[in-house]
């Protein structure tokens, strides 16, 4: 059995965890991010009122976590996307497609509510270098 090192990834360039979890975990060469919501890392306040603005902030937060973990959007292998309203699917996809250009596997579901009443949350599994 191969045992891989487990490392907690944390960066001040993304919102601090608002619960008992890490921003990401690096295990071997795989990086598992926690879901990112559209919070300003400096203030903890929600950024944007529509899906496009919120999705852009989520991507900024994910970029910071991926970078801190030695990865990038290009190395993503799987994403899970949570939307408060499936009516936002097309607009969300427009923003998503500008960041995830390599076509990782993805699940996208609508949920009843998200933390702080936001419209979107995204988590990523990526290869790390």
Measured CA to CA, the distance from residue 72 to residue 66 in angstroms comes to 5
H helix and E strand count, the chain? 2, 6
The verdict on whether 108 is a catalytic residue reads yes
Contacts of 51 (CB under 8 A, 6+ apart): 83, 85, 88, 91, 92, 95, 119, 120
Chain position carrying tokens 């923003």: 95
Please pick, among 91, 108, 114, 127, the residue that the annotation labels catalytic. 108
Strand 105-110 with 76-83, pairing: parallel
Chain position carrying tokens 């990782």: 104
- Kindly state the tokens that stand for 45: 């306040």
| Catalytic residue list | 108
């Amino acid at each position: 059995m191969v045992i891989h090192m487990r490392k907690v990834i944390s960066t001040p360039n993304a919102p601090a965890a608002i619960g008992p979890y890490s921003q990401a975990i690096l295990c071997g060469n795989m990086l598992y991010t926690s879901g990112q919501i559209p919070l300003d890392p400096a203030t903890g306040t929600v950024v944007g009122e529509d899906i496009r603005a919120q999705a852009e902030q989520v991507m900024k937060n994910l970029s910071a976590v991926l970078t801190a973990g030695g990865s990038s959007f290009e190395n993503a292998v799987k994403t899970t996307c949570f939307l408060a309203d499936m009516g936002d699917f097309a607009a969300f996809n427009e923003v998503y497609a500008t960041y995830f250009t390599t076509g990782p596997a993805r699940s996208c579901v609508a949920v009843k509510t998200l933390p702080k009443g936001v419209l979107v949350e995204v988590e990523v599994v990526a290869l790390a270098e």
